[in-house]
Amino acid sequence: MSTTAVQLARVRGLVRSGEARELRIASGLSLREVADDIGVHWVSVYHWEQGVCLPRGPHALKYARLLDALRKATR
C-alpha cells in the first residue's frame, strides 16, 4: 500500500471515529482555522466531522498532515 493510501485511510478513520473533531477542539482551533489551513471552506470540514462526507484528494492529504501534527502537539 502506498504512503498516500495509508494517509487517506488514516484520515478517514479519524473522521469516522470522531477523533478528528476531538483533536481540533482540544487544540483550540475553529472550523474556519482548520479549513483555511488546508484550503477548503469551513463547511467542508464541518461536513467531514458530521459524517456527511469524507475528505478526498489533495485536501484529505493536507488534513491528514494537520491532524498528525495536532495529535503530536496535544500529547
Residue 54 in contact with residue 12, Cβ under 8 Å? Answer: yes
More confident residue, 59 or 3: 59
pLDDT band at residue 1 using 50, 70 and 90 as cut-offs = low
Q: Which domains does the chain have, with CATH numbers?
A: 3-73 (1.10.260.40)
* Model pLDDT for residues 15-44, shown as the tens digit of each residue: 999 999 999 999 999 999 999 999 999 999
Burial class, 5, CB count within 10 angstroms (exposed 0-12 / middle 13-18 / buried 19+): exposed
Alpha-carbon span 20 to 49, nearest angstrom: 7
Angstrom CA distances, 62 to 17, 34, 39, stand at: 19, 10, 9
At 37-73, the pLDDT tens digits run: 999 999 999 999 999 999 999 999 999 999 999 999 8
* Global pTM exceeds 0.75: yes
